[in-house]
Amino acid sequence: MSRWVKAAAAKEGFSLGAIAVVFTSDAYLLEVNRKYLGHDHHTDIITFDYCDPLDRSTISGDLLISVETVARNADSFEVSMRDEMLRVIIHGIMHLCGYKDKTSEEIAVMRAREDHYLTMFTEVFADRR
């Protein structure tokens, strides 16, 4: 999977720095969401960007992922847990690359990038475990 994330970052024009993927519970991610973002709702991922503002050529950050929410979303969207987890991971990477998802236009662009890299994973990386 790290080759896939590195390839996705490179296609977006970035080198991959330190990326931590932390799998958490709903309760923990809700606590983080409240404490650091002021949001009082569950989410599947929170991305903390640690990129150097003077050198935006390398992305670095933490991806905090609620396994419980990802599992519920996989059921809801009728996709495998693996595919939904990959979508959430690449979603966080796209945030580090500068993509936003606040407006409907930004969401559409973000979803297109996710779909692109999920297809890349399936076509190129899934058979090379």
pLDDT tens for residues 52-105? 888 889 999 999 999 999 999 999 999 999 999 999 999 999 999 999 999 999
For the chain, list the domains and their CATH numbers. 2-125 (3.40.390.30)
Query: Which residues lie closer than 8 Å to 8 by C-beta, 6 or more apart?
Result: 90, 93, 117, 120
In this prediction, residues 23-49 reach a mean pLDDT of 96
State how far the Cα of 65 lies from the Cα of 37, in Å rounded to an integer.
15
Number of Cβ within 10 Å of residue 84's Cβ equals 20
- Supply the pLDDT for residue 126: 62
- Supply the pLDDT for residue 127: 59
CA-nearest of 57, 50, 46 to 16 is 57
Contact in structure between 74 and 84 (CB atoms under 8 Å): yes
Residue 21: strand pairing partners = 63
Does 2 have pLDDT greater than 80?
yes
For the chain, the average pLDDT equals 94
